[in-house]
Amino acid sequence: MDTEDTGEFLLPRSRQANERLHALIPGGAHTYAKGDDQYPEHLAPVISHGSGAHVWDIDGNRYIEYGSGLRSVSLGHAHPRVLEAVRRELDRGSNFVRPSVLEVEAAERFLATVPTAEMVKFAKNGSDVTTAAVRLARAVTGRPRVAICGDHPFFSVDDWFIGTTPMSAGIPASTNELTVAFPYGDLAATEELLTRYRDEVACLILEPAGQTEPPPGYLAGLRELADRHGCVLVFDEMITGLRWSEAGAQGLYGVVPDLSTFGKALGNGFAVSALAGRRELMERGGLRHSGDRVFLLSTTHGAETHSLAAAMAVLTTYVEEGITARLHALGERLAAGVREAAAGMGVGDHIVVRGRASNLVFATLDENGRPSQEYRTLFLRRLLAGGVLAPSFVVSSALDEADIDRTVEVVAQACAVYRKALDAGDPTPWLAGRPVKPVFRRLA
């Protein structure tokens, strides 16, 4: 085994910075999915800056980046139209004691882009708005239980969801009992759940699409089930919003939820999220009704002017420049290249690209076809050594064909090493440390 095989690649400054991060910040990052445990040991780059589809670490290495900002930076870093909109507001003040006119302008722009919704309220992150949707659903139905799609990985940092994960420490069992799960794509199982907890389920919440397309009639069937059982249908469009269509998955598939939540791509890295939905429901969090008031969303920084300006610029750019179509075209080119490279190296059944072209992920399978953190570690090491930072293959519109072609070259090199590890029946000699770890696990 030579140096090329083991992927010898050192990041001394990043390693030191990671130690400083862990000394001051629990987990060494402000998002668990960005933790250094998600990367090969001592090979977690600490970022200096980014431009377009590239980032530079503090060791001076440049990478082609995928999954930028956990899918939030879909136009590329420091996008000129977004920065221009933000700069216009920075000298005009960012937060006032009364609403800024930008709040109504941003709401108008959002609702023009997502016409299936009638009202919208902005916040700073996805958990704010998904939890607000759950609270609103409980208020309007008078029911306690929340039904989540058990096949989708994340909905909120709040107790109603985190209690269902292996990281449930600190959450009372009584809270966990109020969240139940249904499988994606299975209407019969969902109806059985709603029947078992008749008149107890406040809402069904799910990502409308994930790594696979919705089965024919599935979303419409959920709509009918929610109506028949009197519960609220909530689409979590954090990922599908803008990436599936400018109006999200609901715009693409033509099924209208009662409430939907947006974030990530909405701000191109700036902190902004949105809860949108039917006026009849949303107004319960307002002042123009006669019922009990619902504490829907009330955030000091929810309407920072520069973040709303960023969202307006993102929405305009998507519509005017056909960004969603570009994301799909780039993703299709990447997926085809990776599959060809993997097949050519004899690992086409072990490195598997999945998902919609605008939201690609990859699976790393062992010699028995089972998901493997060890083989993922080997693959990530080789990508990093080749200048590709790719916890996923989620594209941004800033990538160009040369970036895609270079990525495929690096993937092919990684596949060659992957083949050697498969032939040896043990990837351990190629890991140079502990394997990467799943985000959700009970023990550190």
Q: What is the average per-residue pLDDT within 280-284?
A: 97
Angle at 97 between CA 92 and CA 100, to 5 degrees: 50
Please give the pLDDT value at position 440.
87
- How far apart are alpha carbons 69 and 94 in whole angstroms? 23
- How far apart are alpha carbons 361 and 339 in whole angstroms? 12
Please give the pLDDT value at position 443.
85
**Confidence band, pLDDT 50/70/90 cuts, at residue 444:** confident
**pLDDT tens, position by position, 34-50:** 999 999 999 999 999 99
**pLDDT tens, position by position, 306-360:** 999 999 999 999 999 999 999 999 999 999 999 999 999 999 999 999 999 999 9
Q: What is the average per-residue pLDDT within 286-304?
A: 93
**pLDDT tens, position by position, 146-186:** 999 999 999 999 999 999 999 999 999 999 999 999 999 99
Share of the chain above pLDDT 70, in %: 98
Please give the pLDDT value at position 66.
98
Lowest mean pLDDT among 246-260, 285-299, 397-411: 285-299
Residue 3 has pLDDT above 70, yes or no: no
Q: What is the average per-residue pLDDT within 234-244?
A: 98
Residue 6 has pLDDT above 70, yes or no: no
Nearest to 315 by CA among 66, 122, 123, 75: 75
**Confidence band, pLDDT 50/70/90 cuts, at residue 281:** very high
What is the chain's alpha carbon radius of gyration, rounded to the nearest angstrom? 22
**pLDDT tens, position by position, 195-234:** 999 999 999 999 999 999 999 999 999 999 999 999 999 9
- CA 214, 329, 308, 263 dihedral sign is positive
Please give the pLDDT value at position 52.
98
- Computed over every residue of the chain, the mean pLDDT equals 96
Please give the pLDDT value at position 5.
53
Contacts of 25 (CB under 8 A, 6+ apart): none
Residue 365 has pLDDT above 90, yes or no: yes
Q: What is the average per-residue pLDDT within 278-289?
A: 96
Q: Which helix (H) or strand (E) holds 413?
A: helix 401-424
